[in-house]
A and B are shown apart, each in its own frame.
Chain A
């Protein structure tokens, strides 16, 4: 039994759900998180104007900006940003998926998550695979592999 923790883009959640459904994995937990990778939450101006931009301005993400840099919201209205200009927001809104799967299903779950989330740009997220000792279904008290079936 393995625990698969994936951090994915907020806007890819629906695609991921569809992809996971095809693998036969039924149980998924979604968490709203903020996070960043080694790029410190850097977003290019070309990506702004999407839902991400709105979320940051609403304060859903970016609350932990640790890098002082120009924030588009603070510029004069009408300022033009070249698409390649980058802004460091610190923490960006992300979604965390937690899936407990049988050992033999891990590869297909990973493939599903990767195919639904891979854009090739920074910020696609990360997948962690951790050992999980047991699971217990609360309703029936079934333990171990039985609790997942």
Chain B
């Protein structure tokens, strides 16, 4: 099981969510965050912005769905033509994938390794 943290443009969030949804990945958590990448923000006129609003999606999927989820986020969050890396605009975001050892709903607390007594 893997946890996917995707930092994407706020304006592409809705598109990514819809696409994930139609691929059967329904559960996700959404965070409003700010940040900047290697470019250290953007300069507009004489003003330099280092805290650029972004949307962060947290999705936990089984190992065999990671590639699918990452591909959906890549396709939908990318600016410019889909298959042309050089056409994207800086700031499309990043996707991070980490390990999850265990995941279970609080409602049932049903765990793979047995239910702990509450």
A interface residue numbers (CB < 8 A to B)? 2, 5-8, 31, 33-40, 64, 66, 91, 94, 96, 107, 110-111, 113-115, 117-131
6 A-B pairs besides A37-B27, A126-B103, A130-B100 with CB distance below 8 A are A96-B31, A114-B106, A118-B107, A126-B104, A129-B100, A131-B99
Which of B13, B101, B106, B116 has a CB less than 8 Å from the CB of A126?
Answer: B106
Q: Chain B contact residues (Cβ within 8 angstroms of A): what range?
A: 20 to 34
The stretch of B14-22, B66-74, B81-89 in contact with A is: B14-22
B contact residues around A37 at 8 Å (CB): 26-27, 105
B contact residues around A118 at 8 Å (CB): 106-107, 109, 118
Contact A131 B101 (CB under 8 A): yes
B contact residues around A130 at 8 Å (CB): 3, 98-101
Which of A34, A107, A128 has a CB less than 8 Å from the CB of B103?
Answer: A128
Rounded to whole Å, the gap between the CB of B5 and the closest CB of chain A is 11
A74 vs B82: C-alpha distance when bound (angstroms): 38
Rounded to whole Å, the gap between the CB of B79 and the closest CB of chain A is 20
A91 vs B31: C-alpha distance when bound (angstroms): 11
A113 vs B58: C-alpha distance when bound (angstroms): 20
Contact B99 A114 (CB under 8 A): no
4 A-B pairs with the lowest CB-CB distances in the bound complex, closest first: A35-B29, A124-B107, A124-B106, A129-B102
At the interface, yes or no: B94 with Cβ under 8 Å from chain A?
no
